[in-house]
Amino acid sequence: MTAATEHPATAHSLGIVTGLAKETTCLRRSGTADMPMVHASAGRPEEATAAARAMAAHGASGLVSFGVAGGLDPSLGAGVVVIASSVIGPDGEALPAHQPWVKALMRLDGAYDSGAVVGSDRPVMTALDKRRLFRRYGALAVDMESHAVATVARDAGLPFAAIRAIGDPAGRTVPRAALAGLMPDGRTRALPVLAGLLRHPRDFAGIWRLAKETNRALAALRAAVEAGAIDALR
């Protein structure tokens, strides 16, 4: 088990990989503080892979990618929850999600969309890059953890699900300063972001908008957990 994994495995426990500590907090605030094996990978696919492998080795009953994603489908606004039907890796291979889990999640109260999610090994920052991915794959969203977790689940013979909420819609370009505050443990610090804004003051409006829309996505994730999204996978 990696040092950053928060809880030891228990029988029939899920392994949940997030990108940000704030996403992990969504689980705790929603009454799942005892949820075993939750790990924030700080948006690093290699860290997500290592965490998922550790969870599988310690008896996880299934693996889940949970958190905020970038929008690819221009019809999806901030806060829309996407349940991945499959995850398309950087090599173009589509890894299917566990369909009984997809169906169980789509039966929950709430407005959820289901479709393909793209996994990327690098941040997808610009609206142009998002349009290119959408034209190529027709996927709903993009993130940096789901393909890593899905690959480990496939190799380990475990069920997999991805629950992602749109934080930066398809038409948004993420300001350069936004990534400056991300720490290796998945937490964010304001000071590096402010330093980046001093170098690029035109990014201020974009940072403000991104923070507002990310908060909407986090609220949607908390609501999904309150509606039973995690319980549906047990």
In angstroms, the CA 139 to CA 91 distance is 15
pLDDT tens for each residue of 9-42 = 444 589 999 988 889 888 875 454 445 688 888 7
164-212 pLDDT, tens digit per residue, is 999 999 999 877 755 544 545 545 655 555 555 556 667 666 677 878 9
Residue 57 is assigned to a structural domain of this protein: yes
pLDDT averaged over every residue in the chain: 84
- Check which CATH number belongs to the domain holding 60 and give it: 3.40.50.1580
> Whole domain around residue 189: which residue ranges?
14-233
Q: Is residue 213 in some structural domain?
A: yes
142 assigned to some structural domain: yes
Q: How far apart are CA 222 and CA 224, in angstroms?
A: 5
Kind plus residue range of the DSSP H or E element containing 193: helix 190-199
Q: Contact 141/77 with Cβ under 8 angstroms?
A: no
- 219 domain residue, yes or no: yes
Contact 195, 131 (CB under 8 A): no
Is 8 domain-assigned? no
> Would the pLDDT of 119 be above 90?
yes
Residue 193: partners with Cβ closer than 8 Å, 6 or more residues away: 177, 178, 180, 181, 207
Overall number of domains in the chain: 1
| pLDDT number for residue 37 | 82
Note whether residue 1 is domain-resident. no
Q: Which residue has the higher pLDDT, 186 or 94?
A: 94
Q: Does residue 217 sit within a domain? A: yes
- Whether the Cβ atoms of residue 196 and residue 177 lie closer than 8 Å to each other: yes
Cα radius of gyration (the chain): 16
In a domain, 9, yes or no: no
